[in-house]
Structure 1
């Protein structure tokens, strides 16, 4: 068999960049799933990565009057929004085709710091926070997820979101109705990653609350390392 032309085979470096870029949203989505599992099961039934569910919980809780459930849901929503604003300000004016510029690394590092602060507070109360502490922990977790969400939106990760996947599920169903497989593996991978992250968080929470809270920051730290590598590869072809 004759060798195919190099341009038809594709640049190996480009293929490596594409594979690495596909891994990053999956890691962040697993982290988001684990984060929501810990928050929902360990912080009074509130979400810190999924604000759609949180707003519904806020309305349901509010129908019974202002109580701790309302405080948790309101704190999560406010902190998540603050995280979005902070990260969008840190990453404004990035080119539309940016994959992983240094400002994304800096912003995601803010998310990691918030997650580590959450981990420290969570470990200090052995995963059993009181009424005041849990609102603070909810806020830290949601702040981290808001920053992460903004970072994923700013970079070119195939239109994938990492904290809410209703749109991804809708895209999968729409593509299936048209018989299209475009981006299907990536989108299905994100859906699976969220479920696996939640499963990992829930299982870990049964045996070690600290280990459960460690999943998300560990994955974000790996993402930061790989993201910096991705930027380096693209900058030095």
Structure 2
């Protein structure tokens, strides 16, 4: 337990001399953003995810089979937008690959613009969950999540992918002492799960209590703060900035 708590602490307050420097807490913030955004996409835009592509593939199968409440068009739109966003994020990562701080900063600039645009649309349109506005929001948010996931993949901070928790939860269980493992990075993995849960909880509470645009505003604020912090990181020449 003590080792897990220490691991959690060093994830939130990292040693700047560590191989990943200030990146772990930034990845946690992006994980919260994922929870906020997927709350909007699933609860407001109609049973579709913009970050969890596994869910969209499954939902597409449900829709084709005739299950009520699922739209193959919405799922395919999210998949396509995410793929394009991942392409853009990949280009950003390859362009700035010599410095991990620049990769993060450029990706956050792009993602912040996309999510903020989605917030403005959701805030100003009376029916953001219908018609072309719905698909516009799915596209903007899917693009943003694709950029984020590609950047996280390029940064490669262990157990902090920001959008996928399946392997994280598997690691908590399969690497635990109960399973015969050493329990490595349990604290960090649990924090990732908690971060996404908190984002989803806050997002769902806002939507269910009548403010569907609020999660996107919160996500935009977190991304904007992250963008400013990442800009400061671009000036570092510490060891963590060197690509893996």
TM-score range, shorter chain: 0.7 to 0.9
* TM-aligned CA deviation for residue 191 of structure 1: 0.6
Where does residue 147 of structure 2 map in the other structure? Answer: 147
Where does residue 108 of structure 1 map in the other structure? Answer: 108
Is the CA contact (8 Å cut-off) linking 2:35 and 2:197 kept in structure 1?
Answer: yes
* TM-aligned CA deviation for residue 16 of structure 1: 8.6
Separation of aligned partners in 2, 1:49 and 1:112: 15
Deviations 1:154-189 (A, max 9, x none): 114224210111111111112112332322111110
Deviations 1:55-89 (A, max 9, x none): 10011112229x98111100000000110011112
Q: Which runs of 5+ in 2 are unaligned?
A: 1-13
Distance 1:19 1:83, change over 3 A: same
* TM-score, scaled to structure 2: 0.82
Where does residue 61 of structure 1 map in the other structure? Answer: 63
* TM-aligned CA deviation for residue 33 of structure 1: 0.5
Separation of aligned partners in 2, 1:210 and 1:126: 11
Is the CA contact (8 Å cut-off) linking 2:121 and 2:128 kept in structure 1?
Answer: no
Distance 1:30 1:123, change over 3 A: same
Is the CA contact (8 Å cut-off) linking 1:127 and 1:210 kept in structure 2?
Answer: no
Bigger Rg over Cα: 1
3-state DSSP of counterpart to 1:129: coil
Where does residue 169 of structure 1 map in the other structure? Answer: 169
Is the CA contact (8 Å cut-off) linking 1:126 and 1:210 kept in structure 2?
Answer: no
* TM-score, scaled to structure 1: 0.84
What CA RMSD, in Å, does the superposition of the two structures yield over aligned residues?
Answer: 2.6
Is the CA contact (8 Å cut-off) linking 1:122 and 1:210 kept in structure 2?
Answer: yes
Q: Does 1:88 align with 2:90?
A: yes
Match of 1:40 among 39, 42, 62: 42
Across the two proteins, how many residue pairs are aligned to each other? 223
Separation of aligned partners in 2, 1:231 and 1:158: 21
* TM-aligned CA deviation for residue 127 of structure 1: 5.7
* TM-aligned CA deviation for residue 220 of structure 1: 1.4
Q: Which runs of 5+ in 1 are unaligned?
A: 1-11
The answer to which of 86-95 and 12-21 deviates more is: 12-21
Where does residue 202 of structure 1 map in the other structure? Answer: 204
Distance 1:178 1:219, change over 3 A: farther
Separation of aligned partners in 2, 1:124 and 1:17: 44
Is the CA contact (8 Å cut-off) linking 1:47 and 1:73 kept in structure 2?
Answer: yes
Separation of aligned partners in 1, 2:139 and 2:199: 20
* TM-aligned CA deviation for residue 26 of structure 1: 0.7
Deviations 1:31-51 (A, max 9, x none): 000100111000011111100
